[in-house]
Amino acid sequence: MKIDILTLFPEMFEVFNHSIMKRAQESGRLELSIVNIRDYSVNKHRKADDYPYGGGAGMVMTPQPIVDCIKNVKENNKGKVIFLGPRGERFNHEKAQELSHEESLIFLCGHYEGIDERTRKYIDEEISLGDFILTGGEMACLPIVDSISRLIPGVLGSEESFMDESFYNGLLEYPQYTRPADFEGDKVPEVLLSGHHDNIKKWRKIKSLEITKRYRKDLYDEYILTKDDIKLLKNKKKYLKD
């Protein structure tokens, strides 16, 4: 997948040069480019913002550098232009899955008091991270691009790496344990040490259902219990012995 991120602050995306995102780029599964909008400003000081007409606090990103930046990037990236802003659809795992199937994407990060309204004709879609205020679109872009990228085939070690994660199947993830088996008298559940893979799978599903119901009742209410789920919950004492 090819992703271009248009921003006034390229240095904020240095985090993508580490860990899984770095390996994804080195393997060629992800082509990530950070584009500085200021480079397209015709202002001799590379200015990309100005005071809003009508007055008010703060500055507004001017249309010229944004539009010229989009046009230039579009020459090598035909993907949809996505603006990170409050008018958009709220981002979730389903949206991440949808976008992970795209061949290319362009993300536009707003800043200050936002972008000149006339810029919006060059935007295909708007996405919001949630109903709260951030210092700029960069802060929303980081988790969104990370979430999408990890769903690209081959980016993670195996498909199971994300299939068992929270939200993949509509539920929160089951508890995880590692060595030592006994930490300060708190022991790892026996079923995880048993080597009985079917029982471990059932234990994990029961725990996932219980944790979701306890911490995210909204997700649990939307989840449709299967016949196997109902059977597991009825006989959960059999699998939850510690």
Task: Give the closest residue to 120 by CA, choosing from 159, 78, 70.
Answer: 70
Task: Write down the pLDDT at residue 239.
Answer: 84
Tokens of residue 217, six digits? 């009742």
129 is in an annotated binding site: yes
CB 90 within 8 A of CB 130: yes
Of the pLDDT bands very low, low, confident and very high (cuts 50, 70, 90), residue 162 is: low
5 is in an annotated binding site: no
List Cα–Cα distances, 98 to 9, 68, 108, 148, in angstroms.
27, 28, 18, 9
For the segment 88-92, the average pLDDT, to the nearest whole number, is: 95
Task: Write down the pLDDT at residue 45.
Answer: 94
User: Boundaries of CATH 3.40.1280.10 in the chain?
Assistant: 2-149
For the segment 12-35, the average pLDDT, to the nearest whole number, is: 97
242 is in an annotated binding site: no
For residue 182, give the 3-state DSSP assignment: strand
Task: Write down the pLDDT at residue 200.
Answer: 95
CB 192 within 8 A of CB 177: yes
108 is in an annotated binding site: no
68 Cβ neighbours under 8 A, 6+ residues apart:
40
For the segment 211-225, the average pLDDT, to the nearest whole number, is: 95
pTM of the predicted model, to two decimals? 0.85
Task: Write down the pLDDT at residue 238.
Answer: 87
Percent of the chain exceeding pLDDT 90 equals: 89
Tell me the CATH class for 164-239: mainly alpha
Question: Can you tell me the distance from the alpha carbon of 207 to that of 219, in angstroms, rounded to the nearest whole number?
Answer: 15
- The 10s digit of each residue's pLDDT in 46-64 is 999 999 999 988 999 999 9
For the segment 211-238, the average pLDDT, to the nearest whole number, is: 94
Topology adopted by domain 2-149: Alpha/beta knot (3.40.1280)
Lowest mean pLDDT among 41-50, 139-148, 157-166: 157-166
159 Cβ neighbours under 8 A, 6+ residues apart:
153
List Cα–Cα distances, 24 to 32, 60, 99, in angstroms.
9, 35, 17
Question: Can you tell me the distance from the alpha carbon of 129 to that of 148, in angstroms, rounded to the nearest whole number?
Answer: 13
Question: Can you tell me the distance from the alpha carbon of 81 to that of 84, in angstroms, rounded to the nearest whole number?
Answer: 10
Is 189 a residue whose pLDDT tops 60?
yes
Task: Write down the pLDDT at residue 157.
Answer: 72
Q: Which residue has the higher pLDDT, 157 or 97?
A: 97
Task: Write down the pLDDT at residue 170.
Answer: 86
Is 89 a residue whose pLDDT tops 70?
yes
DSSP character at residue 129:
S
198 is in an annotated binding site: no
Q: What is the dihedral of CA 206, 210, 213, 219, to 10 degrees?
A: -40
**What are the respective helix, strand and coil percentages of the chain, to the nearest 5?**
45, 20, 40
For the segment 158-170, the average pLDDT, to the nearest whole number, is: 60
Task: Write down the pLDDT at residue 104.
Answer: 98
User: Boundaries of CATH 1.10.1270.20 in the chain?
Assistant: 164-239
Is 150 a residue whose pLDDT tops 50?
yes
